[in-house]
Amino acid sequence: MEQLKNNSHWLVRLALAATFIYHGLAKFPMAAMMAEGMGMPVFMVYLLAIMEVAGGLLILYGGIGPDWATRIGGGIFAMVMLGAIFMVHWSNGWNFMAGYGEGTNNMGGMEFQVLIFAVSLFLVARGNTINE
């Protein structure tokens, strides 16, 4: 169990990094369409994509490197999730399944975004001490 305990931080790191890197990379080819759909400038979508990919890489680097990488990656994720919560998911309430197929954004409620926000703040607060 000690070996599992010492390496379990990778479960969180890999899941978060994979999620953000995947979604960040997917934004690049469809930035113009996303910007139009969200009513925002295209450069903001590119900035968001860069933040998501960079945050994912920092979280991974923090697993083998410095504490600051984990904390900054978590901070980036927290900012991204605050934007997602208030710009997209808040209007659909808590339930992630709420809003699908109805309304204007069809993006569901904010429960998963709040979870990712909380985990991100945990990483900011704890840094690499999650490895211990």
37 or 3, greater pLDDT: 37
Instruction: List, in order, residues 6 or more apart from 107 with CB less than 8 Å away.
Output: 88, 89, 92, 99
Q: Which pLDDT belongs to residue 108?
A: 83
Instruction: List, in order, residues 6 or more apart from 124 with CB less than 8 Å away.
Output: 71, 74, 75, 78
User: Alpha-carbon distance 75 to 46, whole Å?
Assistant: 18
Give the tens place of pLDDT for each residue, 14-33: 999 999 999 999 999 999 99
Give the tens place of pLDDT for each residue, 54-85: 999 999 999 999 999 999 999 999 999 999 99
| Full-model pTM | 0.90
E strands, the chain, where? none
Written as six digits, the tokens of 104 are 């204007």
